[in-house]
Amino acid sequence: MQTDYIIVGQGLCGTLLSYELMKAGKQVIVIDESNPFTAGKVASGLINPVTGKRVVKSWMIDNLLTTAISTYKELETRLGVTIIHPWDILEFHPDAQHRDIFTERTPQYAAYLRIDIEENAWKETFNFNYGIGGVTQTMIINIRLLQDEWRKNLISNDSLLEERFDMEQCTITTNKVTYKNISAERIIFCDGSAGLSNPYFARLPFALNKGEVLIAEIPDLPRHYVYKNGLKIAPWEDDKFWIGSSFEWTFENTLPSTKFREKTEWQLRNWLKLPYTITDHWASVRPATVDHKPFVGFHPGHTSVGIFNGMGAKGCSQVPYFAHQLAAHITNQEPIMPDADIQRFTRILSKQ
Ligand X SMILES: Cc1cc2nc3c(=O)[nH]c(=O)nc-3n(C[C@H](O)[C@H](O)[C@H](O)COP(=O)(O)OP(=O)(O)OC[C@H]3O[C@@H](n4cnc5c(N)ncnc54)[C@H](O)[C@@H]3O)c2cc1C
- Site residues for ligand X per CB under 6 A: 8-14, 31-33, 35, 38-40, 42-46, 164-165, 190-194, 211, 213, 244-245, 284, 286-287, 309, 311-317
Q: How far is the CB of 24 from ligand X (least distance, A)?
A: 20
Q: How far is the CB of 291 from ligand X (least distance, A)?
A: 15
CB closer to ligand X out of 194 and 342: 194
CB closer to ligand X out of 10 and 304: 10
- Which residue is closest to ligand X by CB? 11
Q: How far is the CB of 114 from ligand X (least distance, A)?
A: 21
Straight-line distance from the first to the last Cα atom of the chain, in angstroms, rounded to the nearest whole number: 33
Please answer whether residues 231 and 268 qualify as being in contact, where contact means their C-beta atoms are separated by less than 8 angstroms.
Answer: yes
Q: How far is the CB of 307 from ligand X (least distance, A)?
A: 10
What does the alpha-carbon distance between residue 191 and residue 14 come to, in Å, rounded to a whole number? Answer: 8
CB closer to ligand X out of 106 and 212: 212
CB closer to ligand X out of 32 and 92: 32
CB closer to ligand X out of 314 and 329: 314
CB closer to ligand X out of 40 and 106: 40
Q: Give which of 140, 134, 128, 129 is closest to 114, Cα–Cα.
A: 134
Q: 232 forms bridges with which residues in the sheet?
A: 228, 244
Q: How far is the CB of 107 from ligand X (least distance, A)?
A: 27
What does the alpha-carbon distance between residue 274 and residue 346 come to, in Å, rounded to a whole number? Answer: 53
The number of C-alpha atoms within 13 Å of 181 and in the hemisphere containing its C-beta is: 2
CA 52 to chain centre: 17
Q: How far is the CB of 226 from ligand X (least distance, A)?
A: 9
What does the alpha-carbon distance between residue 207 and residue 313 come to, in Å, rounded to a whole number? Answer: 11
Q: 165 forms bridges with which residues in the sheet?
A: none
Q: What secondary structure letter does DSSP report for 126? A: B
Q: How far is the CB of 115 from ligand X (least distance, A)?
A: 24
Cis peptide before 245 (omega within 30 of 0): yes
Using DSSP, state whether 193 is helix, strand or coil: helix
What does the alpha-carbon distance between residue 90 and residue 157 come to, in Å, rounded to a whole number? Answer: 42
CB closer to ligand X out of 106 and 204: 204
